[in-house]
Amino acid sequence: MNKILIVIFTTFLSLASLVSLANDAHHPSKEIQKSYSARGEVVALDTELSKVKLKHEPVPALNWPGMTMFFKVADKSLLDTVKIGDQVDFGFVKVEGESPLVINIKPVD
């Protein structure tokens, strides 16, 4: 009787693992995003929408030329650390189909 229960239990675990793998294949989780860094100037701050507009230098890793664009910020409090006109170093992640997300920003001394 114990052998039968062991066989049933291990069969159940094997099937559960296969179902889990199948679900992962059809519903992949978001991959950890690579982060990028750049230097730029703060052009505008939108604390209500948690965005910062930056005029940034080229980002060679993404084949981006220098441009002016809005970035979302991961933490609204990051906007308290900079003001319009500041030269900044910033880090961001780029998520497919979404705006780039600033994860850190600091004024350049």
For residue range 25-63, what is the model confidence (pLDDT) as tens digits?
444 445 557 899 999 999 999 999 999 999 999 999 999
Decide: helix, strand or coil at residue 78.
helix
Q: What is the pLDDT of residue 32?
A: 59
pLDDT classification of 82: cutoffs 50, 70, 90:
very high
The structure's pTM equals: 0.69
Does an H or E element contain 25, and which?
A: helix 2-26
Q: What's the rounded Cα separation, in Å, for the pair 34 and 93?
A: 6
The answer to whether the Cα torsion of 61, 88, 33, 50 is positive or negative is negative
CATH number for the domain running over 35-107? 2.40.50.320
Q: What is the pLDDT of residue 29?
A: 46
